[in-house]
Structure 1
């Protein structure tokens, strides 16, 4: 058990030379779980000191004691440690997290002791940030702060995470654009030397980094398959080569009409050369405002009034759409796109299966009619 002892503040005394009663304070001394000495002073009433001591002893018995010294660690200190621990993230995933920490979390919360962070302040910060920033930026910044405070809870620096449970903005789903066969060909025709790459993306569903990371040896011309084992992404202007997004390689089929264009891309290249481009340097993602892809889209829109504005990632959606309309089942599309599960494929492309409901109804009607006729 701890102890409570009185003491007097230094100050003027009474006429008799004794300390004034209003200067009386109480100090609590207690032993921490690690058997070191702890103390807290400044209690005006003895009852308050007793309540504090009882709280300390109860938290020790419940294994929930928080050392006030540990709670004084700053968010900046723990944030730096947390950021260094994110080694499981790919460079392309780590960079936006680091930017969110540097631009939004550290300037606001860095000087705070973790024990001083309040739920209401986090909510105000999120709401203020949401006025000027998009939902993705806000969620990423909030996620970084919440993760850092989760570490503080696990380190027994605070009992609960005050960032959890705040109201967050919702990301509005972007409408997907699916090209038809004719539109995909039109876009490829307007892409110049990149026409084969555009068709390849539209009919295999590979991500840009997966496609531009392919090497000649990745191509299995006899089976019409490409083995996806590398992913080349631009991180801060530097191409970083790693494993695919799912961390696992996969074999993806391509239609026969792509055999000849792909064979031409292999001509004069070694097995280790890159399939697309000159063979040595990775083809970089075109500028989203003035690049060759934007120019090809504008030409296509001029030629086809129904041609919508598309991004390179929409070619991946197009591949899923064309595969499903051709009769591919969900598991096949999942493997082609490299999704973690068929459920993820269904969640992502649920809109593409709406027509299947009509087909089910028609099939049931035909089966019922056939049953009636046979009877």
Structure 2
């Protein structure tokens, strides 16, 4: 129900009642403006995107607190979202009053703080999920992150650092003997640092020549470590050659396992190796080898080897534990031969086979003539 009435002071009052029978009103100097406002509200009700202006006055952080309490997240996901829900510069601003300029100011602050472009892009994506939830609850009509320009990241082919085979060998020779297995499974199985730390004896199927990636070890304050499933639910099975399994067997024979859970790398109090200890051991080995590499660079080494050997996108995706093939392509597309080169090679193969068939046919006919 909507109506327009002229007030004693000459103003025009437009009012309506929403689906919950709450009255809303505004005053205008002109009747035509009041009518346009009511028409806009009525149209939004018909479209189904009506927003109660009072409901949108809850602040961004207040909404996030109530919304996040209902989400089923891993600890890692919750930590990431908390950085946005409670750390964004517009946290105390009512949802209905957040504009694109607020988001742009936040992006500028993160850029000034030195955050990597990809990190900033990821955080904008998380903020977008929160605003989408607010839209779903009909607290706001539009997402203020729309149209916000993200910092430009360097192209993967220029920013990605892939160690050479000689550098991996140098790293293996420089590392402490007990830590050698960490380099092996990083470079030749493509495990993330947390996944390497989380390896237990039962993860290796020596007869089936497989490695089952089932957990990772991460820091989580106030506890030293947290053991949880691999990121994005990327539990996977990696098919290993005997050469890699022989190195793992050698490690087990020399150093055994640690704790009741039979961790491959020793930690403290019967648990896995801590992230800081892992990073320290790796840095010591890299410095000794004179290399500027990280444990994640070994993962790139593994992926590049698969691609160079002719593995397709899906095979690489599964081996790397990416949540989708698009993630694999976004990360490693520059390592695959270009479409032009694949076309050129395919045509060359067809051409060569066609000519070879023609030559064989001609030789066959010539041979037949000679026997006549």
TM-score (norm 1): 0.78
Instruction: Select the residue among 285, 298, 303 that pairs with 1:296.
Output: 285
Q: Secondary structure at the match of 1:283?
A: coil
* Structure 1 unmatched ranges of 5 or more: 9-22, 302-307
Structure 1 position 230 matched with structure 2 position 215: yes
Q: Secondary structure at the match of 1:222?
A: coil
2:266 equivalent in structure 1: 277
1:154 equivalent in structure 2: 136
1:190 equivalent in structure 2: 174
User: What are the within-5 Å matches in structure 2 for residues 304-319 of structure 1?
Assistant: 309-319=292-302
Query: Please, what is the CA RMSD of the aligned residues?
Result: 3.3
Q: Secondary structure at the match of 1:291?
A: helix
Q: How many residues align?
A: 349
The 2-side partners of 1:78 and 1:27 are apart by: 31
The question of whether the paired residues in 1 share the 8 Å contact of 2:197 and 2:275 is answered with no
Q: Secondary structure at the match of 2:238?
A: strand
Q: Deviation at 1:200? A: 2.2
Q: Deviation at 1:187? A: 0.5
The 2-side partners of 1:102 and 1:158 are apart by: 19
Q: Secondary structure at the match of 2:231?
A: coil
1:305 equivalent in structure 2: none
Q: Deviations over 1:163-191 (max 9, x none)?
A: 31222222224533333433322201101
Q: Secondary structure at the match of 2:282?
A: helix
The 2-side partners of 1:41 and 1:347 are apart by: 50
2:79 equivalent in structure 1: 95
Instruction: Select the residue among 139, 142, 145 that pairs with 2:121.
Output: 139
Structure 1 position 81 matched with structure 2 position 66: yes
Distance 1:210 1:151, change over 3 A: same
Q: Deviation at 1:278? A: 5.7
TM-score (norm 2): 0.79
1:19 equivalent in structure 2: none
The 2-side partners of 1:259 and 1:47 are apart by: 80
Q: Deviations over 1:212-257 (max 9, x none)?
A: 2121112222232222222222234632222223425332233323
Distance 1:292 1:276, change over 3 A: closer
The 1-side partners of 2:136 and 2:314 are apart by: 40
Q: Secondary structure at the match of 2:11?
A: strand
Instruction: Select the residue among 40, 53, 59 that pairs with 2:25.
Output: 40
Structure 1 position 166 matched with structure 2 position 131: no
2:370 equivalent in structure 1: none
The 1-side partners of 2:295 and 2:81 are apart by: 24
